[in-house]
Structure 1
């Protein structure tokens, strides 16, 4: 068990609304009022929320390019008994946002961390997707470069769990085209955009139809986009019925082998190549 130093301040991880500002929790408001500093990915964006809540606080900006430098500054403040909240642009911090390095430093410096529950686009989209939500995996944003993106989509193709992706409006067409090419026209996906906002859209369909819908209107490609991909179902290998071998034994006296294969494949609706191999194995065993 990690013991925390009571002489230090506390770091609060606070999820903020992903669209609808009314989704802020009472507990989050209480913590915002209590803390000395708020570290955020986007000061202007966080200010919109704080103005609505009538809260004024000192803010630090922390993005991926300055994460390490800012994290060290925040640790110093926490060691000075300052209570600090970390928020992202929107949603739950650290999910595809800076903050991991800061959390790591907090553990190294025995600083207490308190996470709050709240909005997350990935989970919000998943529960409305109409797809299995008891087992899922999160891939975040796919790479910008096509080769790397295709490599990951090929891995996802055989993923049996539901997959969650994020995508930008600029790359959504390319992304769905690649998913369609690798997983097929009929692959079921759910596209959720602008969740919790008045222009929220959640569409469940095949890759082919989702792509058509996206191309139809520029508005369909705007905003924050989450993609939910149905898990891969392994095809069960059909065992050849014993009745087929019985029929083969009866008819082999009267028909040539190739003609017999054609007849049996039509009766039982089995591919000729598959039946041919199975019958050969069966015949060889009997010989």
Structure 2
């Protein structure tokens, strides 16, 4: 039974701040504007987002703490005091908090302490990429980041391709933006020519790029500009 009256709100944030491209639901905006305490991956990004939605509280009256991949577990645990005193908003640098994001630690802490967790409606680049890929949306797996070790990465790519063919499953993964181009080339070199590869870059931005081609056709196409852009990679070797 949940005995704590306060809540942890999971706030999805778009990459693009152009209103014509992304319109957050009114309910989401109302909740965010009511909060004055935030646990965030990157304060600058959060401040830009709050300014974009015209949050009524000035920054100096807000409580903001950082939770990124370098935050020690002990410090994450210290955030529990905020959750017990007031409603708190959790924000990733971009996208959905807790998904390929260190904020998952705080969500687990909230559940472990009977604090209600409320996901708010907003953009999800993973689902948007899957929707636009033309690949199997009935069976898919998100793997986050592949290994940094190149030999392990090659093995992972081979295993994902084999599993896709065997289970008719779409495989979704991502890369740190400055390594996108290296991963793209590796996929072209290691995947079968008939495997379908979707590149989904800068979703919701003005230069959004989403295209699906077989590896064979990608090799005959001018390489897309993926440098330092948030990007998702999807592969599919099934029969669907």
Task: Provide the TM-score with structure 1 as the length reference.
Answer: 0.73
Which residue pairs with 2:52 in the alignment?
A: 52
For structure 2, list consecutive stretches of 5 or more residues without a partner in the other structure. Answer: none
Report the alpha carbon displacement of residue 208 of structure 1 after superposing the two structures with TM: 4.1
Cα contact 2:196–2:237 (8 A) shared by 1: no
Structure possessing the higher relative contact order (Cα contacts under 8 Å, 6 or more residues apart):
2
Which residue pairs with 1:172 in the alignment?
A: 180
Match of 1:221, SS?
Answer: coil
| Distance in 1, Cα, partners of 2:75 & 2:219 | 41
Pairing 1:19–2:29 present: no
| Distance in 2, Cα, partners of 1:144 & 1:127 | 28
Pairing 1:195–2:217 present: no
Question: Bigger shift: 172-181 or 223-232?
Answer: 172-181
How many residue pairs get matched? 228
| Distance in 2, Cα, partners of 1:102 & 1:111 | 11
- Cα 1:211–1:223 change in 2 (3 A) is farther
Deviations 1:159-199 (A, max 9, x none): 22011111234323332333233322332111111111111
Which residue pairs with 2:3 in the alignment?
A: 5
Cα contact 2:161–2:236 (8 A) shared by 1: no
- Cα 1:16–1:170 change in 2 (3 A) is closer
Cα contact 1:75–1:105 (8 A) shared by 2: yes
Question: Bigger shift: 65-74 or 115-124?
Answer: 65-74
For structure 1, list consecutive stretches of 5 or more residues without a partner in the other structure. Answer: 235-287
Match of 2:71, SS?
Answer: helix
Task: Provide the TM-score with structure 2 as the length reference.
Answer: 0.86
Pairing 1:102–2:106 present: yes
Cα contact 1:165–1:228 (8 A) shared by 2: yes
Match of 1:128, SS?
Answer: helix
After TM superposition, the structure 1 = structure 2 runs for residues 1-287 of structure 1, keeping only pairs within 5 Å, are 3-6=1-4, 8-22=5-19, 23=22, 24-55=24-55, 56=57, 57-66=62-71, 68-79=73-84, 81-159=85-163, 160-211=168-219, 213=221, 215=223, 219-233=225-239
Match of 2:79, SS?
Answer: helix
- Cα 1:220–1:9 change in 2 (3 A) is closer
Q: Which structure dedicates a bigger proportion of its chain to helix?
A: 1
Report the alpha carbon displacement of residue 85 of structure 1 after superposing the two structures with TM: 0.6
| Distance in 2, Cα, partners of 1:46 & 1:125 | 24
| Distance in 1, Cα, partners of 2:196 & 2:127 | 18
Report the alpha carbon displacement of residue 20 of structure 1 after superposing the two structures with TM: 4.1
